[in-house]
């Protein structure tokens, strides 16, 4: 694999314009998972805004126990710690914040990304990034919330496709879309800066402006979709997200289903 310009704390800090996110910034060569590394730091009392980045992950995590392919030296793997004061059911909104921040950062490079519920960032209908929100709770309170993002930045497409198998056909990288290598330090700084802004917005005004911005970029609403989860799958039409960020899908009999974690495939 061709390694690109290495990540550096100095390089990231140069572009950082944040009040909270990244006030503590850790950069590792290799970790199991940046989310897991940050969880350990959170247990030791890390402050809100602490960020962990790594050049590679041995066990990058997707949702529902899936893997996130995390080759070394070419992509972005970043996790940020929040200590919000709201109930766990509001946590999905934070994965929207990550998607919006990543979308803003990508947009600065040129392409206009779309978001596919709940956490996929798409360019040209292919996945360039995914986010993972993980919470530790105490009673009905969130003790800490860890927001991870993985972005395919400069990974060569053949490498991505070989690693992902059939799913590789639905994945791409920013370099492949733009036809040039992307500066990962600048991208990391831009992502963290936008994340800070969206998180501040959430703190000040609650979930509504986040959901409104997210809806503008959402590609599922109005589309026919197949829902596949633990139970029996079904087909229907996506009609939007509710106030907690859950997807609403109407089946052919007009019954609305609240979709929490299931897999969604666009049918048309
Ligand atoms: C996600 O899961 O999209 C969340 C990915 C979050 C990764 C970040 S990296 C930093 C932080 N630390 C972690 O350990 N994780 C976070 P999900 O929607 O479940 O998508 C996973 C599925 O996407 C897999 O089953 C594959 O099919 C596909 N996939 C895996 N690696 C990929 C990649 N690099 N690019 C595109 N698709 C990928």
Q: How do residues 151-192 score in pLDDT, each as one tens digit?
A: 999 999 999 999 999 989 999 999 999 999 999 999 999 999
pTM for the whole thing?
Answer: 0.95
Ligand 1 atom index nearest CA of 63 = 19
pLDDT at 268 over 80: no
How far is ligand 1, taken at its centre, from the CA of residue 152, in Å?
10
pLDDT at 130 over 70: yes
- Report CA dihedral (30, 18, 197, 37) to the nearest 10 degrees: 20
Residue 161: count of CB within 10 angstroms of its CB: 15
Note the pLDDT tens digit of each residue in 152-162.
999 999 999 99
CB 239, CB 218: distance < 8 Å? no
Mean pLDDT of the 32-53 span: 97
Determine how β-strand 25-31 pairs with β-strand 256-259.
Answer: unpaired
The answer, yes or no, to whether any atom of ligand 1 lies below 6 A from the CB of 79, is yes
Mean pLDDT of the residues in the chain: 93
Provide the edge-to-edge strand list for the sheet that holds 126-138.
25-31, 51-57, 76-82, 141-151, 126-138, 120-123, 114-116
């Amino acid at each position: 694999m061709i390694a690109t310009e290495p990540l550096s704390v100095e390089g990231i800090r140069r572009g950082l314009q944040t009040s909270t996110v990244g006030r503590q910034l850790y950069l590792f060569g290799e970790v199991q998972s940046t989310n897991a590394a940050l969880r350990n730091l959170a247990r030791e009392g890390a402050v809100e805004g602490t960020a962990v980045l790594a050049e590679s992950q041995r066990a990058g995590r997707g949702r529902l126990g899936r893997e996130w392919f995390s080759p070394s030296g070419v992509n972005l793997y970043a996790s940020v710690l929040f200590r919000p004061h709201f109930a766990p059911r509001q946590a999905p909104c934070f994965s929207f914040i990550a998607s919006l921040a990543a979308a803003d950062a990508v947009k600065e490079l040129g392409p206009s990304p779309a978001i596919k519920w709940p956490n996929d960032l798409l360019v040209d209908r292919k996945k360039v990034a995914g986010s993972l929100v993980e919470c530790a709770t105490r009673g009905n309170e969130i003790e800490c919330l860890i927001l991870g993002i993985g972005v395919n930045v400069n990974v060569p497409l053949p490498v991505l496709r070989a690693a992902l198998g059939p799913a590789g056909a639905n994945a791409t990288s920013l370099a492949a879309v733009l036809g040039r290598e992307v500066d990962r330090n600048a991208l990391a700084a831009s992502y963290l800066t936008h994340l800070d802004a969206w998180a501040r917005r959430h703190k000040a005004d609650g979930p509504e402006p986040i959901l409104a911005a997210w809806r503008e970029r959402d590609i599922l609403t109005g589309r026919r979709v197949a829902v596949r989860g633990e139970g029996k799958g079904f087909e229907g039409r996506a009609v939007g997200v509710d106030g907690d960020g859950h997807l609403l899908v109407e089946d052919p009999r007009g019954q609305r289903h609240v979709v929490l974690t299931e897999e969604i495939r666009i049918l048309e």
